[in-house]
Amino acid sequence: MNNSHSFTISNAAVVTLDSVIEHGIVRVEDGNIVFVGTEDELPADKRSLWLDGVIDAGGGWLLPGFIDVHVHGGYGEDFMNANRQAFDTITKFHRDHGTTAMLATTMTQSRDALDRAIRAVYVYRHERMPYAQLEGVHLEGPFVNPKYKGAQNDAYMIDPQIDWLEDWNSRYPGLIKQVSLAPERHGALEAIRWLRAHHINAAAAHTDATYERIEAAVEAGLNQAVHTFNAMSPLHHRNPGTAGAVLSDDRIVAEVIADGIHVHPAVIRILAKTKRDHNLILITDAMSAAGLGDGQYELGGLPVTVTNGVAKLTQGDSLAGSTLTMIDAVKFVVHNLGVTIPEASVLASYNAARQLGIADRTGSIAAGKQADLVWTNSDLDIKEVWVKGISNRKGHS
């Protein structure tokens, strides 16, 4: 293994933000991309060195690594377990399915449980992260509405507590990247203003908010919607609800779970037609069962049964996260929505990087950015993944 993380990938359909470079070449040095182009464009003084021992992509796709802003776990572990073994297991599993960066997403739980999870992510980020990189924390709850609790535990649902947010932000500066809440709860607008003043994305989640309340929240700074159409007041032609506000307001970036279970393909197609200009993000909302098949699991302290890949609370009929991976989300929108592979790449990578403020270093393939890359065959089956130039296959880093 080359410890410098320097290599060349050739003969790839390289997906950049602007185009697809057929028979493209990407050169990586010390974990960063230094060249993207064709063989004819190679610097003359580098040609022989860069073309020595290349990785031949065989005409397959080379995509930017996927970024998942909403993921709870995978392969038997949950971020609420709050330990290195859990984090390694989750980040390795999702890395192998194309995710190179993610937000550790919490559940509606006690203050102590949230404290433990947040601190564990802080510690993990200050050590070596060998797999997909944790960019920070996404707090999903506890400031949500029991009416649309979904698989969240309503015993811990409360009004937004700005003092909690201030405490976490002072102890772990910049760690919390997204807080998902119900804008109709008492104190929510003030909390949204606080979040945006501290450069934290504020997302509508598990909410019964009216259209008017969402618009007021947007004026306060609300800029995102969690798993659009799920656990929110629905669209009606005389009462647009949260869903109508998300569809109609370009200031709201919409997450969507593209698995054909949470949202009908036709509805995702409508969403994609309304959310332009980088306002749509693919997420997994994956829970611990992802990668393990059917059986009995737990999410946020609540028992979950997975049958035919569909996760639901054992008591009741609420969907409980998903068993989705990002590569399967990409495949779903390509095969069921008529989205092109370059368009799907933007939904899975760049848009999330842009929303997180990290597009200057990841989320697309360009010189100067991290070598966060996914190589697939023509059918989008993953061949290899690199995170900062480090491969998930021995010998290719």
Per-position DSSP letters for 88-108, written without gaps between them:
HHHHHHHHTTTEEEEEEE--S
Residue 387 lies in a domain: yes
The neighbour count for residue 11, using CB atoms within 10 Å, is: 18
Per-residue pLDDT, 2: 40
Q: Which H or E element spans position 36?
A: strand 32-37
Q: Are residues 264 and 371 in the same domain?
A: no
Q: Are residues 108 and 214 in the same domain?
A: yes
Q: Are residues 11 and 122 in the same domain?
A: no
Per-residue pLDDT, 5: 80
Residue 15 lies in a domain: yes
Can you give the residue range of the structural domain that contains 375? 7-63+364-391
> Rounded to whole angstroms, how far apart are CA atoms 180 and 196?
12
Number of domains into which the chain is organized = 2
Per-residue pLDDT of the chain (397 residues; tens, 9 = 90+): 344 589 999 999 999 999 999 999 999 999 999 999 999 999 999 999 999 999 999 999 999 999 999 999 999 999 999 999 999 999 999 999 999 999 999 999 999 999 999 999 999 999 999 999 999 999 999 999 999 999 999 999 999 999 999 999 999 999 999 999 999 999 999 999 999 999 999 999 999 999 999 999 999 999 999 999 999 999 999 999 999 999 999 999 999 999 999 999 999 999 999 999 999 999 999 999 999 989 999 898 889 999 999 999 998 889 999 999 999 999 999 999 999 999 999 999 999 999 999 999 999 999 999 999 999 999 999 999 999 999 998 766 5
Residue 1 lies in a domain: no
CA distances to 110, 151, 158, 206, 286 from 141, rounded to whole Å, are 10, 11, 9, 8, 16
Q: Are residues 198 and 252 in the same domain?
A: yes
Q: Are residues 168 and 285 in the same domain?
A: yes
Q: Are residues 345 and 372 in the same domain?
A: no
> Rounded to whole angstroms, how far apart are CA atoms 47 and 70?
41
Q: Are residues 71 and 59 in the same domain?
A: no
Q: Are residues 12 and 154 in the same domain?
A: no
Q: Are residues 234 and 278 in the same domain?
A: yes
Q: Are residues 240 and 277 in the same domain?
A: yes
Instruction: Name the active-site residue from 285, 328, 360, 379.
Output: 285
Residue 397 lies in a domain: no
Active site residue 30: no
- What is the domain-level CATH number for residue 101? 3.20.20.140
Per-residue pLDDT, 300: 82
Residue 396 lies in a domain: no
- Quote the pTM value: 0.97
Per-residue pLDDT, 4: 59
Residue 333 lies in a domain: yes
Supply the Cα-derived Rg of the chain in whole angstroms.
Answer: 21
Residue 26 phi, psi (nearest 5)? -125, 125
Q: Are residues 159 and 262 in the same domain?
A: yes
- Whether the link from the prior residue into 142 is cis, omega within 30° of 0, is yes
> Rounded to whole angstroms, how far apart are CA atoms 188 and 184?
7
Residue 351 lies in a domain: yes
Q: Are residues 346 and 387 in the same domain?
A: no
Residue 173 lies in a domain: yes
- What is the domain-level CATH number for residue 373? 2.30.40.10
Per-residue pLDDT, 292: 96
For residue 342, give the 3-state DSSP assignment: helix
